[in-house]
Amino acid sequence: MNDTYKKGKDIVKYFLNRAHAYAIFRTQSNLDLLKLGKTRFASHHSLLKRLAHALATTVVLGAWKDWVKSGDENARAMGAKVTEAIADDTFWDEVDILLSITKPNFLMIKFADGEGPKMEDIYEKMDCMIGEIKDIMQDNKYTSDYPKMEEIMVAGWEKMNIPLHCLGCALNPHFFDISYLQSPAPGGILWCPPNMDKEVVKGVLEVFDKIGENESERKLLRKQIHCLQIWTNSLHQIDPATAVCGKESYLSLMVSILAFHKALADQPRDPLVIATFCLAVHSGGSLSEAVRIAKSISQPHDSSFPEVLEPNNLFTDENVMDEVKDLAASVRAALSKMTDGASVSQAMAKYPQAPHSDLVFISMALQVRTDEIISCVTKGREKAFVPKRSSNINYESLAVGNLHEVRFMLSRVIFDTIYPPHLRYTNTRPANSEKIG
């Protein structure tokens, strides 16, 4: 492989150092030849990709042959050598093999250099890149070189901080999506969710070991990420057809769940308050109706969440409504922090070695869309609200971002997480009780 790259580099150098030869090449191509610095595989891929364009037609032109003949003995010898290399089919076969091997790495670098947040996707992209290169090299003569290449790639990845990428992967709701998990990974195997991936879990625990000031804080971090993964997983477990949810609706739902979990992690709540909150979202902000329905729920809640308190049966209707409004305000405050440029820096201030960042978690437009889902709880029943009579998900409405359908989905995720279906009929429900979904 090194010989092929060196030969290609010599050809590029030959043309770039001879203005007349390069001018002849440019009559056949709109692209420039590239003379790149050595940056591992990316320079190999970029140079060889440009090299394959138009050179074959250049060396058969009469102008090229006349120019080569007009030079001195040394120039004619070098020109003949370049012509022979370009006309060699074996050389171009080698170029094709190298391009196929280096393409996944080139695309990975291109992705990482693109705009927008990348950290939550780096682990999966790197994992895919290594797997794709392994699949490609199984079918060519360089199979025996793969272990060394894998060693180089993993060593470079480790310098980029693999544990942090594992945390980003574990916090990305996309990797819990049913349609994603049913798609094949490189090698033909199916993906597994981050909380079932031993390497991801190990990386997350390494991060917590570094940032946790004591064992109590590390234990709390482990509990919180476990609970967050349950919340996000609930959305995808409702129905596999959730995959048809439009991108904007999906993002709003996931950000709503993240903000809701943040509010609960900061201040745990009574299950009655949580149930009333999701019922109020479902009913367009009608708190009195939400309290009435919530108090009729007889099934037990899932007591495994540290964010959910033991039931307080002494709540009055007014107490419940005040608590629900306070929860909604906390959720909206969490959303606001996600668009605060100083939020990340403030969160990392107690870690002196952490780099300064002015990034935000979500865009202002996404914050406004998500806030609209929650705001009905504090503003009260909307005048134009029409109650949803069916317990089925309207995927067409969800795909176009219908606000009422998005609210229904969010409330159903919350309700089914706190009151899982498998516990729903352990007690007899009263005749006047109602439920979501």
Between the alpha carbon of residue 399 and those of residues 139, 243, 281, 283, 347, the distances in Å are 41, 9, 19, 20, 35
Residues 263, 156 within the same domain:
no
- Joined tokens for residue 31: 């692209």
Give rounded-to-5 percent helix, strand, coil for the chain: 65, 0, 35
- Would you tell me how many other CB atoms lie within 10 Å of the CB of residue 355? 7
Amino acid letter for position 393: I
Q: Which of 109, 136, 166 is the last residue of a domain?
A: 166
Cα separation, 177 vs 143, in Å, equals 34
Residue 81 lies in a domain: yes
* 428: confidence class by pLDDT, cuts 50, 70, 90: very low
Weakest mean pLDDT among 52-66, 370-384, 422-436 = 422-436
Between the alpha carbon of residue 126 and those of residues 20, 45, 195, the distances in Å are 43, 17, 18
pLDDT at 244 over 50: no
What's the pLDDT score for residue 119? 75
Judging by beta carbons within 10 Å of its beta carbon (0-12, 13-18, 19+), is residue 159 exposed, middle or buried?
exposed
Tokens 């091997």: give the residue. 101
Residues 358, 260 within the same domain:
yes
Residues 116, 257 within the same domain:
no
Name, in order, each residue with C-beta under 8 angstroms of 323's C-beta and a sequence gap of 6 or more. Answer: 269, 270, 273, 276, 315
Query: Is-contact 78 14, C-beta < 8 A?
Result: yes
- Joined tokens for residue 427: 């007690």
Residues 136, 259 within the same domain:
no
For range 194-221, the mean pLDDT: 83
Residue 240 lies in a domain: no
Q: Which of 121, 144, 166 is the last residue of a domain?
A: 166
What's the pLDDT score for residue 361? 66
Closest C-alpha among 377, 403, 370, 419 to residue 277: 377
Name, in order, each residue with C-beta under 8 angstroms of 131's C-beta and a sequence gap of 6 or more. Answer: 185, 186, 187
- Would you tell me how many other CB atoms lie within 10 Å of the CB of residue 158? 10
What's the pLDDT score for residue 235? 57
- Joined tokens for residue 87: 């006309």
What's the pLDDT score for residue 42? 60
Please give the backbone phi and psi of residue 261, each rounded to the nearest 5 degrees, phi first: -65, -40
- Joined tokens for residue 167: 């945390």
Residues 123, 21 within the same domain:
yes
Domain count, the chain: 2
Residues 28, 148 within the same domain:
yes
Cα separation, 40 vs 135, in Å, equals 20
Residue 160 lies in a domain: yes
Cα separation, 12 vs 229, in Å, equals 52
Higher-scoring residue by pLDDT: 174, 404: 404
Query: Is-contact 286 247, C-beta < 8 A?
Result: no
Residues 12, 143 within the same domain:
yes
Tokens 């290449």: give the residue. 149
pLDDT at 174 over 80: no
What's the pLDDT score for residue 56? 63
- Joined tokens for residue 360: 């935000």
Residue 11 lies in a domain: yes
Full domain range(s) for residue 258: 245-423
pLDDT at 53 over 60: no
Residues 314, 414 within the same domain:
yes
Cα separation, 192 vs 43, in Å, equals 34
* 360: confidence class by pLDDT, cuts 50, 70, 90: low
Residues 417, 291 within the same domain:
yes
Q: What is the pLDDT of residues 263-283, one digit of tens each?
A: 988 899 999 999 999 899 988
Residues 255, 159 within the same domain:
no
* 238: confidence class by pLDDT, cuts 50, 70, 90: low
For range 115-123, the mean pLDDT: 78
Q: pTM to 2 decimals? A: 0.56
pLDDT at 322 over 90: yes
- Among the residues of 71-214, which ranges form H helices? 73-86, 89-112, 119-137, 146-159, 162-170, 178-181, 198-211
Cα separation, 113 vs 20, in Å, equals 36
Residue 182 lies in a domain: no
Alpha-carbon dihedral of residues 105, 182, 121, 361, nearest 10 degrees? 160
- Joined tokens for residue 46: 């970029």
Residue 191 lies in a domain: no
**Which of 178-192, 239-253, 386-400 is modeled with the greatest confidence?**
178-192
Query: Is-contact 378 328, C-beta < 8 A?
Result: yes
For range 337-361, the mean pLDDT: 63
Amino acid letter for position 324: V
Cα separation, 139 vs 116, in Å, equals 35
Q: Which of 105, 133, 166 is the last residue of a domain?
A: 166
Judging by beta carbons within 10 Å of its beta carbon (0-12, 13-18, 19+), is residue 270 exposed, middle or buried?
buried
**Which of 232-236, 240-244, 247-251, 324-328 is modeled with the greatest confidence?**
324-328
Please give the backbone phi and psi of residue 308, each rounded to the nearest 5 degrees, phi first: -110, 120
Residue 83 lies in a domain: yes
For range 290-308, the mean pLDDT: 88
Residues 152, 258 within the same domain:
no
Name, in order, each residue with C-beta under 8 angstroms of 392's C-beta and a sequence gap of 6 or more. Answer: none
Residues 258, 376 within the same domain:
yes
126 in helix, strand or coil?
helix
169 HSE (CA, 13 A, CB side): 28
Residue 179 lies in a domain: no
